[in-house]
Amino acid sequence: MADRKIRVAVIGTAGLPARYGGFETLTDYLTSRLGDKIEFSVFCPSTPDEEKLTSYNGARLIYLPFKANGAASILYDIFAIVISVFAFDRLLILGSGGAVILPLLFPFRQKFVLNFGGFEWAREKWGWMGRTYLKLAESLGVRFSGTVIADNQYFVDYISSEYKTRCLLVEYGGDHCKASDVISDDFAVQYPFIHERYFLSVSRAQEDNNIHLLLHVFARLPQQKIVIVSNWDVSEYGRTLKKKYAGRPNIVLLDAIYDLNTLNAIRTECYVYIHSHSFCGTAPSLVEIMNLGKPVFSFLAQTNLETTERKASYFNTADELEKLVASTSETEVVELGKRMKEIALRRYTWYIIASKYFDALNKGLQKSI
């Protein structure tokens, strides 16, 4: 028994294989990096039978009859927690939406490893009831978990101050993104901007990612090209922006790209990356572009300052971004890229991140199994 693998249930993702989403990417790389030490079971949402897999990266996939978004995601998480608590050594709970159940499972508190996930309750998309529930869930999750993890120092400080609870800082890896060396003729035909100088931004089409601000700025700078990759058609916000700005010669609006090789090629060739998120922790898209050594113009949010160690260039308004785009010299751009790469190699590799998660999941178990 002493040599058996730790049994860990991963709860709170949209399943594997990963597409967009920080928790899904995290789960993908934890299962691939730690599969020799940990026996993972990953809970997945309702999925058509023909698309279901029995395993991925050696992890067992368990499908539940719930969706992983909206109000149904709360039931999805709660149900997964309840059926896992007796069967696993640790429950890695990604996000606190289902954490309202944890007080009723207090005797199993040490099994719960909660990734705090961020200030979900403060997002503008939630009404009063949604915000109230999510703030309660956050509080119960932090108070009734044996281990709490946050992906940004700003969140660690918040948890320490708000709940007087110790919190581990474990960020995200980005070194799975590799620079693309060769751009084929076919690729250049499909993405004709690839040999031009262009700015780039990749994010979900939601208001706190400030895509509207980027588009407003570049509409005023017709000599500067921007490429924005987003899931435009899933929200009224995205559809409205796409309709308003599509067709402008200096603005390229691409639908979400799930193929990593394609996305990496577009990221590799960009001149500057613009990280416009105002409401995230250590954003996977940011640490990925930093690993590629690309210069970053970032929205001036505390979490972004922490991720980039205050060494990127920052904007808070459309005028400030316009000034950065129009006035930053090529020498400054090159230096920005070097600074981002140095930080990424020191902090945002999957070897470092997986090692920290293994320590958190393994803590206190060696004597009990």
Which structure tokens are listed for 95?
């996000």
Span 185-347 CATH architecture: 3-Layer(aba) Sandwich (3.40)
pTM (global) more than 0.75: yes
Q: Is residue 244 helix, strand or coil?
A: helix
Half-sphere exposure of 36 (CA within 13 A, CB side): 3
Would you tell me how many other CB atoms lie within 10 Å of the CB of residue 339?
17
pLDDT band at 213 (very low <50, low <70, confident <90, very high): very high
Q: In what order do the strands lie in the sheet with 90-94?
A: 55-56, 59-63, 38-44, 6-11, 90-94, 112-115, 147-150, 168-169
Distances (CA, A) of 77 to 72, 135, 281: 9, 16, 21
Contact predicate 132/112, CB 8 Å: no
- Could you tell me which CATH number the domain at 6-173+350-362 has? 3.40.50.2000
Report the alpha-carbon distance of residue 79 to residue 320 in Å, rounded.
Answer: 47
Average pLDDT over residues 24-36: 95
Q: Where in the sequence of the chain do the CATH 3.40.50.2000 domains occur?
A: 6-173+350-362, 185-347
Instruction: Specify whether the CB–CB gap between 140 and 103 falls below 8 A.
Output: yes
Structure tokens given for 104: 């009723």
> What pLDDT, in 10s, does the model give residues 119-176?
887 777 778 888 899 999 999 999 999 999 999 999 999 999 999 999 999 999 999 9
| Half-sphere exposure at residue 115, Cβ-oriented, CA atoms within 13 angstroms | 25
* CB contact at 8 A, 6 and 362: yes
The upper half-sphere exposure of residue 235, i.e. CA atoms within 13 Å in the direction of its Cβ, equals 14
Could you give the CA distance from residue 202 to residue 255 in angstroms, rounded to a whole number? 10
- What pLDDT, on a 0 to 100 scale, did the predictor assign at position 279? 84
- 81-126, pLDDT tens digit by residue? 999 999 999 999 999 999 999 999 999 999 999 999 888 877 777 7
Average pLDDT over residues 252-274: 95
